[in-house]
Each structure stands twice: as structure tokens, then as C-alpha cells.
Chain A
Amino acid sequence: MPPRHRAMRFVAWAIWVVIAAAPAQAQEPPAIPGGGTTADHSKFPALKGPFSSGPEVTQACLSCHTEAGDQVMHTLHWSWDYTHPETGQKLGKANVINSFCGNVGSNEARCTSCHAGYGWTDVREPPPADPTRVDCLACHDRSGQYAKQDDLAGHPPLDPVRAGAKTITGADAKPVDLAKAAQSVGEPGRENCGNCHFYGGGGDNVKHGDLSSALVRPDLATDVHMSPEGGNFTCQTCHVTEDHRVAGSRYDVEAKDIVDAHLLGQPRDTATCESCHGNRPHAATPAGMKLNDHTDRVACQTCHIPSFARGGVATKTLWDWSTAGKLKDGKPFSEDGFTQSDGQHLHTYLSTKGNFEWAENVVPFYGWFNGTVEYTTADTVFDPSLPVEINRLEGSASDPDARIWPFKQMIGRQAFDTERNVLLHSQVYGPQTDTAFWTNFDWSKALQVAADYMGTGYSGKFDFVDTRMYWPITHMVAPADDALKCGACHRPQGRMAGITGLYIPGTGLPPGGILGLAILAMAVAGVAGHGLLRLLGRKDKGNHHG
């Protein structure tokens, strides 16, 4: 092609591009701003900063959201104090003893690092009665760089960050840009809730078993609702929130939710499967109708969460405090005896905490549950010869409000008062003290100072008692194809082997079956005997009849 032609072709092409592009630009409407909200928080003068502390940010938030602080201060996220409506027990994080790190009292700056506020340093008193001490950013930061340091009673790491400091997720603490966080705020994402709730008990998935960092961006097989390939739910899609009150409770669980089928999918102040799926969610096929007949006695989770700690993050299944405190050459040491599916090694012994066991893809423990749990609190007397149930599940087959639920059963061994037969508080955290266990490895000091702090009696004599704690499994719902098949339970020694008070076909022959088999056996033996006699008779008589 001669150069002149080539130039002409280029000009023609350029003209075509301009003509083609121009009308498209003219027709394109301007983009709608705001991305689903009416406010772009980066444009607010109040949020320009600079901020030198968390409460300063909160103060700026409250200049528009005037009631938000007060609302949060009415919630369990703030109070950590809960009086059970059925049992009257005083529960909540500030009061209970669990089988993980034990108790908050006397360990505050460490434990309250996950409090939805700033600077709660004594849980014997309510959190500071000051709305600016509410931590808005923990839930609403969308910049991804906000964090809470693990030993500052809820405050974020700010410049200069102490060397070696960690955040509540165990990551290295980096200075937080508060202005950037403040300007980023939005609806909480999975990681906002997860920064505390995925790391309960001192690490990823340690406590719940069904709440781990695997749920930040889960694949479909790990959580059909939260997976971006599935429903892409955030936590509050189910944990419906009103006035900052979040639906759902582990103390008073909605174990059986009878819903009006006409109101399915409507936002309700409850976090049950049934609020969207109803009580008869399976198709009207013969198998589906049979499955629907199960829903009054079997929780959805029992079949639809075939195992927990899925998605590659293990959960702690045993914690034996009694072996804690061993030292090598006067120094604490650790053993990493468990290898997670991603190759990560997890502690199986720490001088500070004792022995652990871990597991992935765990088959749940199943039990009757009507939603009420009764705690073994610091003043509940027990029989130390039996495992102590830290939170006893209420419900049985004869309780119409109870259903069969899946649980993580946590096996523990914890300090108790051998004279009074009650659980003991312990002070484990306190780097500056000469009493805290993690610093001094002396149980008698750690137990005495905690008892004094909490104002409970202590005989001075302690030992360790076996404990069991139950965590309802309700997250990590699997795709329908992965749900348990009938035969998982309807077989001898199946998953319902520990369930009593219920007739479960296929688990063993009932009396009618044993009697029936005997009748059938007699019939077979009868005709066999009859036939034999006929055969003998025929030989004798040589008759073709008979």
C-alpha cells in the first residue's frame, strides 16, 4: 500500500472513531453518586480530621448521628451484662466463666480490647457512661485499616505503636489513620463483625467453631449464604439490626421459630433460618414432604451444617488448663503439634495456657435444645467427680419447644475451689503485675488475686475439674447437595446415637420388629418342616401327589 493511501485510511478511521464515540458520550447519563446511600462521608467537614484518638472520631460521628451513641449503650455489645429472662441468671461477658480464657474480670485491658467502646478497664463497673466512648469504627470502618490493639481496652494502635504490639486478630499492629477510617464509614461488612467474633477465645475460630476468618470471603461449600458466589450475605442480613440492637443470642436462643408462611423474608427481629425459609421449606415431593415433617423436632442446622470448622480454619476442641505453667530452663515454651489443612502449625501446648486439641471439619455433638442455657457461674456448686457443664442446655424430647441441635462440644479442664466446689476466676493477663499467671506462672497467686478482685470467696485450695461447654452451630450452612442424607442418622450408631426419647427408624429393630422377625422365622421353619415331611411321605408311598 502506498504511503498516501495509508495516511488517508488513518484519517478515515480517526473520523469514524470520533463520530462513533461522540453520540455515545452524549447519551450516557451521569452516574448516580453515593453508591446506595445519600451521604459521602469523605465530604463531611467534621470528618476531615486530624483525630488523635478514637473518642474524637466518635464525637464527630455524634455531631450528626445524635442518638447513635446512646443506642449502642443500650445494647449487649456495650453492656456485656445480661439477665436471662427464664433463669434469672446474671450472664454476659462481664459475668460468666467460660472454658477458654476463663473470665474478663481482672484481665480487662486484654479482654475488653474487643469491647465496642474505648477504655473499659474495670468490668465490675458498667462501661464509661459517655457516648463518645462508643467505638463506631469497629463496626463501620470500611477502609480496612482500622484495628483495635489487643491490650488497650478497645483503643486502636496509634502512632507511635509499641514494638511487638498486636491487634485483636493477632496481626502486627500498625498505626491507624483515624481520618481515613472516619471518612470510609458504611454498613458493616463481614470482616467488621469478624474482627472480634471470628477471633474469640484468643485466635481464629478458637471459640465458636462455625465463625472463622474463612467467612470473610467464603467459597460456596463453606457458607452458601455468605459466599460471594452465593448470597453474599453480611452478618446483619440475618442478624437484623434495629437501633443498633442486633438480633440473635446464645443465652436465649430462638431454638424453634414458628413463622407465618405469609410473612417469609420480611425483616424480623430474629436471626433464625425460618424467618426466611419458613417451617416447611422442602419441595412438595414425597422426600421433601418427609423432610418437612422433621422440622418440628430437628433444627435446620442439624442437617444443613454437616460439619463445622470448614473452609480451612481449625477450631480448638480441648483446652486443659491444668498443664499450664511448665517451664523449660525457667522459660515458657510452646509446642506446635497440630497442622492445619493450609499447612499452618497450631499450638498444642503453651506454658501460659496448657494443652490444646484442634480439629477441622468437625462432626457436631447433637442434643435436645429449647433455647435456654443455664450457666455454671462462680457461685454454682457442682459435683467435681463429673464433668461440669459450663452451660447446660435445656430441653428434651418431651419438651415441645425443643429440637435436636448441633453443637460444638468444648472439652475443658479448669481451676475450681476444692472446698467450695465452685469454679474459680483467674487473673491471667497483667504484664506489670506479680500475680498474673501469664507473667508469673503461679496459680495460687493468679486465683487469689482474681477472687479478691471479683469479691468471691476462695478457700485457698484449688484443683482442676473436667468441663464441657456447648456452642450452638448455626453458621457455615452448606449447599443443599452437601446436607446430611437420611442415612447419616437413620442407621445403627448414626449421628443421633446420643439422642433419647424419640423413635428414629433405622437405628435398631424395635420390639415389633423382633417379634415380627420371629413370626417370619417360624413361618419359614414351618413350611420347611412341612415340606420335609411331605418329601419323606412321598418316598414311603411313592405317590405323585403331596
Chain B
Amino acid sequence: MAERKVLVYTRFNRLWHWSQATSILILLFTGLRIMGLHGVLTFGTAVTIHSIVAVALMLLWVFTAFWLMTTGAWRQFAPRRAGLWQVARFYAWGVFRGEDHPYRKVLRRRHNPLQALAYLALKVLLFPAVFLSGIAYLGYTFWDHLDPSGWAIWAVANIHILAAFAIAAFVVAHVYLLTIGHGFREHVKPMVTGFEDIDLTPEQEAYLAAEEPGRLKA
């Protein structure tokens, strides 16, 4: 096994990550304004930006879902139990005692098992909750006649807000975890350049050198 710098975040992957990150921050900021938790921007401007960015982000998700399925990249997020306990134990205990991170990145799994599970939860629970409730909210005019008491739109709004806060909590934890290990800059860099330190088998190394030399850094 040799550790090599390998391109694991493709250009689309990085574009997806950063435009999603930007969108989520804008949506959280304007969402907080709509809830009345700050006063930067008028309510109307906040709603307009929130709606436009939400539609753009949902469009991005459509492309991403397509990309994940067609390229097989979705496998990166498939949950598995192996190593989960060790990683959890590390964050809860080992990290305070100066232990090294137990996970070694390999080509087919660039995320550690806990990370993959967290991203999967985000993708299948929180994102759908927020965008389905958002779509329902945005399109209220098409079903408001089914909701004479207004109870359903109240429930939709509460689900939307709750899911949004959960995503905000994820963002906090996500950014914080970048500070663990080699430091914040080192952790952000791969998502900028695309290259990450990966343990390669001799076969993988030989294959990449022969077939995809651009993915290997000297």
C-alpha cells in the first residue's frame, strides 16, 4: 500500500459541493430573516432571494442525483458497519488523548464510515424534508383549497424550519470536524484541488498510472 495524492473529487463534485454550500448559507441567512431572527434585508427581498436560490439548489440536486446514479458515485455514501465503532470511539475519546484518526482513505471510500453515514442521513432525511416541505410551501396556492383550516401549511412550515435548523447544526459540526487531525486548511484543500491522500494498492496505482495518469500527482 502506498499513500498517493489522487484526484477523488471531480470537477463536478467540487462544483456541487461549493455551490451547495453557498446556497445553503444563503438559504439559512434569508430563512432566518423570514423568521424575523435578524433584520438585514427586507422581508420581501429575503423571500425573493430564498425562493430563487431554493429553486436553483433543487435544480442542482436533480443534476447531482443524475450524476451520482450514472457514475456510480453514490456507492461512496452507501452505509456500512465496518470501522464505524472505531471512528465513533475516536471522536468521543481518542481525539482527546491525541490518538491518530483510525480511518485510512481508500480509493472507493473517501469518507470514513461515520462521515458517510452522516452525509447519507443528510441526503435521504434532511434534504428531502427541507425541499419537499419547501416545494409544498412554494406551491401552496395549488393546494390551499385542501387546507381550509390552515393546519397543513402550519405543519409544512414547521417541518421546513426544523429541518433547516438541523441542516444548520450539520454545517456547524461539519465545519468543526475539519479542524480535527491535520487542521482546517489541510481538510478544505482536497475539496478545492480535488486531490486527497489515498492508500492505493499496487494494482490501483498501476491502473491509475496507466489509464488515468491525470488523477495521480507525482
Give chain A's interface residues, CB within 8 Å of chain B: 285-287, 290, 292-293, 296, 397-398, 400, 485-487, 490-492, 501-503, 505-513, 515-517, 519-520, 522-524, 526-527, 530-531, 533-534, 536-538, 541, 543, 545-546
B164 interface residue (CB < 8 Å to A): yes
Question: Which chain B residues lie closer than 8 Å to A491 at the CB level?
Answer: 36, 43
- Binary interface profile of B, 130-172, with partner A (CB < 8 Å = 1, else 0)? 0000000000110011001110011001111110111011101
User: What is the bound-complex CA distance between A185 and B164, given in angstroms?
Assistant: 67
User: What is the bound-complex CA distance between A545 and B100, given in angstroms?
Assistant: 7
Contact with B97, one of A517, A523, A541 (Cβ below 8 angstroms) = A541
Contact with A296, one of B48, B144, B157 (Cβ below 8 angstroms) = B144
Q: B48 and A509: CB pair below 8 A? A: no
Scoring B140, B154, B162 by chain A CB atoms within 10 A of each residue's CB, the highest score goes to B162
User: What is the bound-complex CA distance between A292 and B141, given in angstroms?
Assistant: 9
Given contacts A508-B36, A520-B168, A545-B100, 18 further A-B contacts (CB under 8 A): A293-B144, A296-B144, A400-B145, A485-B43, A486-B42, A486-B47, A501-B150, A503-B157, A505-B34, A505-B35, A507-B36, A509-B37, A511-B158, A523-B173, A530-B91, A530-B95, A534-B180, A546-B95
User: What is the bound-complex CA distance between A437 and B201, given in angstroms?
Assistant: 107
B85 interface residue (CB < 8 Å to A): no
B202 interface residue (CB < 8 Å to A): no
Contact with B157, one of A512, A527, A534 (Cβ below 8 angstroms) = A512
Q: A527 and B176: CB pair below 8 A? A: yes
Question: Which chain A residues lie closer than 8 Å to B153 at the CB level?
Answer: 503
Closest A residue to B139 by beta carbon equals A293
Q: B159 and A522: CB pair below 8 A? A: no
| Interface CB pairs A-B, < 8 A, 5 | A503-B150, A506-B36, A510-B154, A510-B157, A516-B161
User: What is the bound-complex CA distance between A545 and B42, given in angstroms?
Assistant: 45
Q: A516 and B96: CB pair below 8 A? A: no
Q: A490 and B96: CB pair below 8 A? A: no
Q: Known: A501-B150, A507-B36, A510-B158. Is A534-B44 also a contact (CB below 8 A)?
A: no
Q: A533 and B140: CB pair below 8 A? A: no
User: What is the bound-complex CA distance between A287 and B47, given in angstroms?
Assistant: 8
Question: Which chain B residues lie closer than 8 Å to A510 at the CB level?
Answer: 154, 157-158, 161
In this complex, how many residues of chain B approach chain A with their Cβ under 8 Å: the count is 45
User: What is the bound-complex CA distance between A333 and B34, given in angstroms?
Assistant: 54
Question: Which chain A residues lie closer than 8 Å to B180 at the CB level?
Answer: 534, 546
Chain A interface secondary structure, helix, strand, loop or mixed? helix
Question: Which chain A residues lie closer than 8 Å to B48 at the CB level?
Answer: 285-287, 290
B98 interface residue (CB < 8 Å to A): yes
Scoring A511, A512, A533, A538 by chain B CB atoms within 10 A of each residue's CB, the highest score goes to A512
Question: Which chain A residues lie closer than 8 Å to B13 at the CB level?
Answer: none
Question: Which chain A residues lie closer than 8 Å to B145 at the CB level?
Answer: 400
Contact with A531, one of B140, B149, B164, B179 (Cβ below 8 angstroms) = B179
Closest A residue to B155 by beta carbon equals A512
Q: B162 and A512: CB pair below 8 A? A: yes
Closest A residue to B95 by beta carbon equals A546
Question: Which chain A residues lie closer than 8 Å to B165 at the CB level?
Answer: 512-513, 515-517, 519-520
Q: A516 and B36: CB pair below 8 A? A: no
B51 interface residue (CB < 8 Å to A): yes
Q: How far is the CB of B39 from chain A (nearest CB, A)?
A: 9
Contact with A534, one of B47, B95, B100, B166 (Cβ below 8 angstroms) = B95
Contact with B181, one of A293, A508, A545 (Cβ below 8 angstroms) = A545
Q: A492 and B36: CB pair below 8 A? A: yes
Q: Known: A286-B51, A512-B162, A536-B96. Is A527-B141 also a contact (CB below 8 A)?
A: no
User: What is the bound-complex CA distance between A516 and B172, given in angstroms?
Assistant: 13
Question: Which chain B residues lie closer than 8 Å to A290 at the CB level?
Answer: 47-48, 51
Q: Which 9 pairs across A and B sit closest by C-beta, in order of nearness?
A: A516-B165, A543-B98, A512-B158, A523-B169, A537-B96, A527-B176, A486-B43, A512-B162, A541-B98
Closest B residue to A492 by beta carbon equals B36
Contact with B148, one of A400, A490, A492, A519 (Cβ below 8 angstroms) = A400
B82 interface residue (CB < 8 Å to A): no
B52 interface residue (CB < 8 Å to A): yes
Contact with B44, one of A287, A515, A538 (Cβ below 8 angstroms) = A287
Question: Which chain A residues lie closer than 8 Å to B91 at the CB level?
Answer: 530
Q: How far is the CB of B63 from chain A (nearest CB, A)?
A: 21
Q: How far is the CB of A494 from chain B (nearest CB, A)?
A: 9
B212 interface residue (CB < 8 Å to A): no
User: What is the bound-complex CA distance between A546 and B149, given in angstroms?
Assistant: 53
Within 8 A of A (CB), among B36-59: 36-37, 42-44, 47-48, 51-52
B3 interface residue (CB < 8 Å to A): no
